[in-house]
Amino acid sequence: MAVSYNTGAAAPANRQPIKWDKVGWFALLIVLAIVMILPLFWVITTALKSNNDIYKTPPDFFPNEFHFENFWNGFQAINFGRLFLNTMIITVLSVIGGVVSSMIIGYALARIKFPGRKIWFFLFIGSMMFPSIVTLIPLFRLYLSINWYDTWLPLIVPAWLGNPFFIFLARQFYLTIPYDLDESAKLDGAGHFTILTRIMAPITKPVWITMAIMAFQGSWNDYLNPLVYLQSAEKWTLSIGMATFSSTFAGVANTQWNLYMAANLLYMLPPLIFFFLAQRYFVQGLGSLGNISQK
């Protein structure tokens, strides 16, 4: 089913009288947008303030003087380089694993006719309902017993075994692609592997890029799993480093919130950059969710 991704191309509004309800909506939207952006603005303002200015009551809305050295000092204060590298390795490997495995599983469930595929589909989807907390303690024991505790493996390997939501997303998208494509490819002698990698991969780009964005965020932002599985500080991810930084370093009196916010800004950047690079596919990739009521 084809969905048009028409994101508000301006209707022919010329010569029509001003629609006051639209003006009202627009004003409301602007106010909400300002409220939403304010905390982010606050990160930047704080990151640039001097040590004394962060304690002013009421706080200054703009910094009096710009202290760009806060970025370097914050960077050093939490060993940012090392944590960044750790997080990046874990994230990239998880993203690749999550996307590849889910696209393959989704392909099988949508486009290969084999007995049991419906049952497996429902089992995978059903497993989305199981809260991760149920698995946390048994898995902790499992990882402990196979010596994966205090390694990155518990954070990477599970991604390679498919993500239920991604499987669902992939399957829904595959279902919208005409089956003539596979049929003609099969007549030309192509197998499932060829169809998957040569024909489906380019067509499904919006959906796997959407997955990549989500997987990147999920992994980069993950806090609970690193907290439970990583012990040694040199293996920490940025999420653990930043959380610890905020409660120890920044928890005491004379908190250097300016350094903290500078580091925080650096921590936020990679998911932001990745999102903006891949953003145009995002709404399209989630478009298949609009077909949710279809089987």
Partner 1 sequence: MSNTAVTSDQVSANTLGKFKKKINKSDLFWGYLFILPGIIGLSVFVIYPLVYSAYIALTKWDGVTDPKFIGFQNFQYMFTKDPVFWPSIKATVLYVVLSVPATLALGLLLAVLLNQHLPGIKIFRTILYLPTILPAVATLTLWKFIYQPNYGLANAVLSFFHLPTSKWLTGEDTALISIIIIGLWGVGGTMIVFLAGLQAVPKEVYEAARIDGANAVRLFWNVTIPMISPILFLQLITQMIGALQAFSQAQILTQGGPNNATNFLMYNIYAKGFGNLGSFPDLGYATAQVWILFFLIMAVTALTFRFSNFWVYNETSAD
Q: Which of residues 224-253 bind partner 1 (CB under 8 A)?
A: 224, 227-228, 238-239, 242-243, 246-247, 250
Residue whose CB is less far from partner 1, 203 or 228: 228
CB 211 within 8 A of CB 98: yes
Which member of 139, 153, 175, 185 binds partner 1 (CB under 8 A)? 139
Q: Binding to partner 1 (CB under 8 A): which residues in 183-202?
A: 191-193
1 or 180: whose CB is closer to partner 1?
Answer: 1
Closer to partner 1 by Cβ: residue 22 or 198:
22
277 binds partner 1 (CB under 8 A): no
Considering only 18, 21, 234, 252, the residue that binds partner 1 (CB under 8 A) is 21
Interface with partner 1 (CB under 8 A), residue from 105, 200, 207, 211: 105
Number of residues that bind partner 1 (CB under 8 A): 104
Burial (0-12, 13-18, 19+ Cβ within 10 Å), 3 = exposed
Q: Is 75 in the site for partner 1 (CB under 8 A)?
A: no
In whole angstroms, give the CA distance from residue 18 to residue 15: 9
Indicate the residue type of 46.
T
Can you tell me the distance from the alpha carbon of 77 to that of 84, in angstroms, rounded to the nearest whole number? 13
The reply on whether position 46 binds partner 1 by CB under 8 A is yes
Buried b (16+ CB within 10 A) or exposed e, 177-203: eeeeebeebeeeebebeebbeebbeee
What percent of the chain is helix, strand and coil (3-state, nearest 5)? 75, 0, 25
* Contacting residue, 14, 52, 57, 147, with partner 1 by CB under 8 A: 57
